[in-house]
Chain A
Amino acid sequence: MAVEESNIGNAEDKKNKIKNKTLGTLYDMRDAKTCGLIEENKALGVRKYAKPVGVIANVVPCTNPESTICCLALSTLKTRNAQIVSPHPRTQKTSYETVQHARKALEKIGAPVDLMQCIKQTSHAKTAEVMANCDYAVATGGAALVKVVYGAGKPAQTVGAGNVVSIVDDTVDLAATAHKIRLSKIANNSASCSSENAVALYEGIYENMIEALKSEGGYMCSTEEREKLRNYMWPDGSHLNRDIVARPATFIAENAGLTVPEDTRFLMVIGEKIGPEDRFSGEKISPVLTIWKWTEYDEMLDRLEKILKFSGEGHSASLHSENDDRRTQLALRANVGRVVCNMPHAHANSGGWNTGLPTTDTLGCGSWAGNIFSGNVNWLNFMNITMLAIPKEEFIPEMEDLCGNYLKKWGQD
Chain B
Amino acid sequence: MEDNVQEMYVRARKAFKEIEFWPQEKVDEMVEAVAW
Contact = CB atoms under 8 A, between A and B. Distances in A.
- Asked whether A and B interact, the reply is yes
Contact of A130 (B5, B22, B28, B36): B5
A117 B12 contact: yes
Nearest to B11: A114
Interface string B1-36: 111011011011111101110111001111111111
A269 to B, nearest CB: 41
**Secondary structure dominating the interface of B:** helix
A161 interface: no
A118 B5 contact: no
A119 interface: yes
8 contacts: A35-B23, A35-B24, A73-B34, A81-B16, A82-B15, A106-B30, A112-B15, A129-B5
Interface of A: 22-23, 25-26, 29, 33-36, 52, 54-55, 70, 73-74, 77-78, 80-84, 102, 105-106, 108-109, 111-121, 126, 129-130, 133-134
Given A34-B24, A78-B27, A113 B15 contact: yes
Nearest to A35: B24
B12 to A, nearest CB: 4
Given A26-B31, A73-B34, A112 B19 contact: yes
A105 B34 contact: yes
Interface core residue of A25, A33, A112 (most chain B CB under 10 Å): A112
B2 to A, nearest CB: 8
B31 to A, nearest CB: 5
Contacts of A77: 27, 30-31, 34
Contacts of A119: 3, 5, 8
B30 A121 contact: no
B3 A121 contact: yes
Nearest to A30: B28
A201 B2 CA distance: 53
Contacts of B23: 35-36
A396 to B, nearest CB: 38
Nearest to B2: A120
A127 to B, nearest CB: 10
Contacts of A70: 35
A117 B13 CA distance: 11
Nearest to B24: A35
Interface core residue of B22, B23, B34 (most chain A CB under 10 Å): B34
A28 to B, nearest CB: 12
Contacts of B31: 26, 29, 74, 77-78
A40 to B, nearest CB: 15
Contacts of A108: 33
A138 to B, nearest CB: 14
A346 to B, nearest CB: 22
Contacts of B15: 82, 112-115
Contacts of A129: 5
Nearest to A81: B16
A55 to B, nearest CB: 4
A33 B12 contact: no
Contact of A117 (B1, B18, B19, B36): B1
Contacts of B35: 22-23, 25-26, 70, 74
Given A54-B16, A73-B34, A129-B5, A80 B22 contact: yes
A166 to B, nearest CB: 32
A120 B3 contact: yes
Contact of A54 (B1, B2, B13): B13
Contacts of A36: 23-24
A347 B6 CA distance: 39
Contacts of B16: 52, 54-55, 80-82, 115
Contacts of B8: 84, 117, 119, 130
A84 B4 CA distance: 12
B28 to A, nearest CB: 8
